[in-house]
Structure 1
Amino acid sequence: MNCAPFKPSKWTLLFLMLAAMMILMGGAAVAPALPLISAAFPDATDTSISLIVTLPALAIAITGIFLGILSDRIGKIKVLAVSVTIFTIAGSSGYYLTTIPAILVGRFILGIGIAGIICTTSALIICYYDGISRARVLGYQAAAMGVGVLILETAGGLLAGISWNAAFLIYLLGIVILAGVLLTMREPAPLKYEAGTPDPGKKTAAHETFPVHPLLLAYSTLFMGNLLFFLMPTKFPYLIAGMEAAQTMGGNTAFTAGLFLGIGGCASAVLGIFYGRIAWRFHRYTILTTTLLAFGLGLCILGFATSLLMVGVAVILVGVGEGLLMPTILTWIAAITPQQFIGRAMGGFSVSLNIGQFASALAVVPVITLVASYGNMFLVFGCIALVLAVPYLVALIKEKYYPAPTAQDIVTAAARK
């Protein structure tokens, strides 16, 4: 049931999608510039340079739950507007800051803004839309995230070709998004009726509680999926920088890396556009099994890649995995969470999403030490993704061939006794 009388327009949808572009890669928009930043600050460690991309994720993980609760209490539009403002100012601060510690402080504050954007945009979609429209718009949101990868990574690569700090100017896009939020969106009204109840006179059930345990599986799946996906913006540019084949496209390997990350974003966007149809035809476990297989195959191909064609196939597969992962988790959360708790649930979504991003940088350190090359590192994580697909495949088989008995089945069996 729609929890707000406000009827979202096409302009509302457009600016929700523009805000959604920042959810996945808002912290990684400058990823193509990382090798150039390393060269500009030779005394900085690889870990500290990687934090430029991953530190916003830590900030989101710390503040996401609180911002989700805050959006339920004071209003989602207020939190969204302030968050976009923070995003714009803190994101672009890297353009004029001249030391790694100062840049990292700005990146942490950027993460707070992104946390608010994640919580509120996803919650507003769930409040503004329902049924098949909701699944379709959540698919559009995933598509917008993919387009965000294309725009942010490609533009970041182009700007990095000018100078390493010019890449931070991409965050000025937040000015346009802020104007759209203020002009086209309204606060959803407080939920007055029980979700899914056909009788509008029936009030919200007092016994509804926040579904902690059912959400944990969804959150943990998102955590692992994003840990795998975020190997791309943090380590893929280094893989490309070391490939002889990448030199055929010119000396600007930052642009080459950004271009291929953008191709993966396009694949994610295409899946998002058609996700509404996918969600209604396939079981959740089928989609998640496919997601992890796509991640695994894509990362393994990167491990063996010796040509740009192989790289292209790999990034498309990883993009397909991400395009399926995000809307599947969001529809899962929407299906099991009472709408009066949706802001809080989206806070948990933002936390698990970004702990996965931050943990990605930490998980790489021991692996790269052991395997000694970026290609082997991608191969190791590809194998991990393939292993993670097995439990969902088992669950799918169990669901298909050994379904749980329905209430009618139980009644019939009792009658026979």
Structure 2
Amino acid sequence: MDVESRQVKVVLLLVSSLTIMSMITISASLPDMTKAFSDVPNGPKLVKLVLSFPGLFIALSAIVAGMFIDKFGRLRLLGISLVLYALGGVSGYWLDNLYLILAGRAVLGVSVGISMTIVTTLVADYYQGKSRQKFAGLQIAVMSIGGIVFITLGGILADISWRAPFLIYFFSLLILPFCYLYLKEPKRDLKAQESQTGIKSPAIIWFVFINVMLMWILFFIIPIQIPFYLKDLGVEKNSMIGLAIASSTFFSAVAAFSYSRIKDKFSFHQIFALGYFLMAVAFAFIAAGHSYFMVMLGMLFAGLGMGIMIPNANIWVMQLAPPEIRGREIGRLTTFWFLGQFLSPLLLLPFLDYFSQSQLYFVISGILIALSLVFMGVYYMNSRKAQLE
């Protein structure tokens, strides 16, 4: 198999696009869903949970999937995960019970936990060095572009009915045959696999995992709460709400396309510092603006920040993880990624009982500035230590 072939890359990128699609495609539907289930106890809170609920099950399934694919191979579970993706995702179109919709979202989460772990591990298996660095940036860029398409389409369909965007999840079935046509199982060192119990990654990998979780806790408030914020500002069209959220993914794609060139000049720590600073600027604009234009400007900076931080985390983990336990470590990365998305509304939305939305965004901006300073501090400490040695 020629891993540099266009077909292999396109299939990997299409499977990758399912990840972002799983979470935010229905974002523009949330306000209308809230009205539809207004008679359900705690209905508004449960509707917001619909968006982030898959994250919990992605987190739970990814770590298990990582261990299984190291032991049994990458592709055996991929087909099953794509079928589950369609079934769990589309179920929301037909279901009238909010709790059953949440159950369907749980199935969707399990499928993404498996498929994302597999595709990210395959990227690490197929590519090395500069090629891996370039493809990781391309992967996040295409995921972001897919997000633009799916969010915009979701916004348009949400103007027809809040149920209509759920039909987009059928897309996974279109990808399924091409996975088996073009992707091949990487060769594995069976002896190394048998003795992998003694193999460990450097301890710093846990620092990366926790940072990824924190990154998503802070960022994921955007697709969850911005639709309601824009409604409060007088924006009525769901398509405009979808466009606002999609714009962040567009600028994320722009930044991710440039990641390889950025990484050539800066360290992992510096890139995280820059990413957090850009996100801090984003939340400050959203908080202070009180207008659709200022929210869009905030989406620009938020997208740029996430666009460099996501591939940065992926490449760092790929570099730290020994090949024998690569699937397990990437499974853990996926777990912390989506655990952050799941925890985001649970940790941040209760503060809206005490703060206005603008005040909450200002607080988040301050936290992001602090994180940026922490990473720059660690970078300078490491630089000084290296000079002394």
Structure 1 residue 224 corresponds to structure 2 residue 220: no
Helix, strand or coil: the match of 1:78?
coil
TM-score using structure 1 length? 0.88
One-letter amino acid of the counterpart of residue 216, structure 1: W
- The offset of 1:221, in angstroms, is 0.8
Structure-1 residue corresponding to 2:154: 156
Summarize the Cα distance change of 1:338–1:6 in structure 2 as closer, same or farther, 3 Å threshold: farther
User: Quick check: 2:3–2:126 contact (8 Å CA) kept in 1?
Assistant: yes
One-letter amino acid of the counterpart of residue 133, structure 2: A
Structure-2 residue corresponding to 1:101: 99
One-letter amino acid of the counterpart of residue 160, structure 1: A
One-letter amino acid of the counterpart of residue 167, structure 1: P
One-letter amino acid of the counterpart of residue 222, structure 1: V
Structure 1 residue 43 corresponds to structure 2 residue 27: no
Summarize the Cα distance change of 1:130–1:204 in structure 2 as closer, same or farther, 3 Å threshold: farther
Helix, strand or coil: the match of 2:77?
helix
C-alpha separation in 2, matches of 1:317 and 1:365: 22
Compare CA radii of gyration and give the structure with the larger one.
1
C-alpha separation in 2, matches of 1:186 and 1:112: 23
Structure 1 residue 352 corresponds to structure 2 residue 336: yes
- The offset of 1:271, in angstroms, is 1.1
C-alpha separation in 1, matches of 2:84 and 2:216: 24
Helix, strand or coil: the match of 2:188?
coil
Query: Which of the numbers 8, 13, 32 marks the counterpart of 1:17?
Result: 13
Query: Which of the numbers 309, 316, 340 marks the counterpart of 1:332?
Result: 316
Structure showing the higher helix proportion among its residues: 2
Helix, strand or coil: the match of 1:77?
coil
One-letter amino acid of the counterpart of residue 277, structure 1: R
Summarize the Cα distance change of 1:85–1:206 in structure 2 as closer, same or farther, 3 Å threshold: closer
Deviations 1:205-232 (A, max 9, x none): 9896122622110101100111111111
Structure-2 residue corresponding to 1:75: 73
Structure-1 residue corresponding to 2:175: 177
Deviations 1:89-144 (A, max 9, x none): 11011011111011000000100001011101100000011110000000011102
Helix, strand or coil: the match of 2:76?
helix
C-alpha separation in 1, matches of 2:253 and 2:69: 28
User: Quick check: 2:91–2:104 contact (8 Å CA) kept in 1?
Assistant: yes
C-alpha separation in 1, matches of 2:337 and 2:379: 24
- Give the total of aligned pairs: 387
Structure-2 residue corresponding to 1:412: none
Query: Which of the numbers 373, 378, 381 marks the counterpart of 1:390?
Result: 373
Where do residues 170-319 of structure 1 align in structure 2 (5 Å cutoff)? 170-191=168-189, 209-211=199-201, 213-244=203-234, 246=235, 251-252=236-237, 254-319=238-303
- The offset of 1:179, in angstroms, is 2.3
Question: Comparing 306-315 with 131-140, which one deviates more in the overlay?
Answer: 306-315
Question: Comparing 13-22 with 122-131, which one deviates more in the overlay?
Answer: 13-22
Question: Comparing 207-216 with 343-352, which one deviates more in the overlay?
Answer: 207-216
Return 5+ residue gaps in structure 1 as ranges.
Answer: 195-202, 407-417
Helix, strand or coil: the match of 1:26?
helix
Structure-1 residue corresponding to 2:360: 377
Structure-2 residue corresponding to 1:85: 83
C-alpha separation in 2, matches of 1:225 and 1:94: 29
C-alpha separation in 2, matches of 1:75 and 1:8: 21
Return 5+ residue gaps in structure 2 as ranges.
Answer: none
- The offset of 1:154, in angstroms, is 0.9
C-alpha separation in 2, matches of 1:404 and 1:150: 44
TM-score using structure 2 length? 0.95
C-alpha separation in 1, matches of 2:82 and 2:387: 45
C-alpha separation in 1, matches of 2:152 and 2:190: 45
Q: CA RMSD in A?
A: 2.0
Deviations 1:263-308 (A, max 9, x none): 1111011111111111111111110001111111111211112222
- The offset of 1:180, in angstroms, is 2.1
Tell me the percent identity: 25
User: Quick check: 2:3–2:9 contact (8 Å CA) kept in 1?
Assistant: no
Helix, strand or coil: the match of 1:236?
helix
C-alpha separation in 1, matches of 2:131 and 2:198: 25
